[in-house]
């Protein structure tokens, strides 16, 4: 789909424009905050909630989570979750949408979603959430939230340029840092779970696929890098099964449960934890 691939390439090339727009503390901080918010929304909502129903929340807060994740420009919640459910059914086997073992690294990392065959949302695979018209609308008009975020960043940057010129920022600078650079960073951290986390890391559990735990990806993706854990027991809200496996998204979900906006976080059963303790992680990079 060249009409989709060309803008995708242009977005990556636009990162170079930082040479001309410069930087400011405000712009860099905005990029980091938007990275953190959107990575959390993708991992906690698109993945753990919509794909695996690992916790419960209210209708209004599921929309807040979906909208936040949608602003990362990775399509709508129904599209994302329906494709991910298919991935789990045939992970690393023929029919997997993005297995590096079936179609190569680049396809698994960022090629598969440019294929026309994967553009449609399979509502049958996501019937539990397709009953909500606001999610269907967000899925259909998945460009609105990213576009709105970009406009908001330009407006905020221009307002700061006029009202607080000492901050050294502008609308274009805020757009480049907060939207372009931050979005591209979120892209590749998310994609790496499909590609790198099925190639490099350790295997605690003997799963039918090639999923691996990768501590560096776990840090960058707020817990998603504990991928072998996840493929062994995908319905848990926690992917870092043990205290030393940092899972930022789970920590935030726990804090949200304290104020009552999420609840019933599905735990890892004790027999799964005990099996993991008896099976030392095996390094594998093949």
Q: Per-domain residue ranges for the chain? A: 2-203
Residue 283: per-residue pLDDT: 53
Which residues have CB under 8 Å from 52's CB, separation 6+? 234, 235
- Prediction pTM value: 0.94
Phi and psi at 98, nearest 5°, equal -145, 55
DSSP conformation class of 280:
-
Instruction: Yes or no: say if 157 and 171 are a contact pair by the CB < 8 Å rule.
Output: yes
Instruction: Yes or no: say if 72 and 219 are a contact pair by the CB < 8 Å rule.
Output: no
Residue 282: per-residue pLDDT: 55
Residue 278: per-residue pLDDT: 80
- Give the angle subtended at the CA of 95 by the CAs of 90 and 100, to the nearest 5°: 85
Which residue ranges in the chain fall short of pLDDT 70? Answer: 280-286
Residue 117: per-residue pLDDT: 86
Distance, in Å, from the CA atom of 153 to the CA atom of 157, rounded to the nearest integer, reads 6
């Amino acid at each position: 789909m060249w009409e989709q691939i060309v803008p995708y390439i242009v977005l990556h090339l636009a990162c170079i424009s930082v040479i001309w727009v410069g930087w400011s503390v405000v712009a860099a901080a905005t990029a980091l905050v938007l990275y953190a918010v959107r990575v959390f929304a993708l991992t906690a909502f698109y993945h753990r909630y919509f794909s695996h129903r690992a916790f419960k929340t209210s209708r209004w807060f599921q929309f807040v989570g979906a909208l936040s994740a949608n602003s990362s420009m990775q399509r709508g919640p129904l599209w994302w979750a329906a494709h991910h459910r298919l991935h789990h059914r045939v992970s690393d086997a023929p029919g997997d949408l993005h297995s590096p073992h079936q179609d190569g690294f680049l396809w698994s990392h960022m090629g598969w979603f440019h294929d026309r065959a994967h553009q449609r949302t399979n509502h049958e695979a996501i019937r539990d959430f397709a009953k909500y018209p606001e999610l269907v609308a967000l899925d259909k008009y998945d460009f609105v939230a990213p576009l709105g975020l970009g406009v908001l960043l330009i407006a905020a940057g221009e307002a700061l340029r006029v009202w607080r010129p000492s901050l050294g920022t502008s609308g274009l600078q805020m757009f480049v840092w907060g939207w372009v650079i931050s979005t591209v960073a979120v892209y590749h951290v998310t994609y790496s779970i499909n590609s790198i986390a099925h190639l490099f890391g350790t295997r605690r559990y003997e799963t039918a696929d090639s999923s691996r735990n990768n501590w560096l990806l776990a840090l960058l993706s707020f817990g998603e890098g504990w991928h072998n854990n996840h493929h062994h027991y995908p319905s848990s809200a926690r992917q870092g099964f043990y205290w030393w496996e940092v899972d930022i998204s789970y920590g935030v979900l726990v804090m949200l449960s304290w104020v009552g906006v999420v609840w019933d976080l599905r735990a890892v059963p004790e027999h799964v934890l005990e099996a993991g303790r008896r099976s030392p992680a095996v390094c594998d990079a093949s």
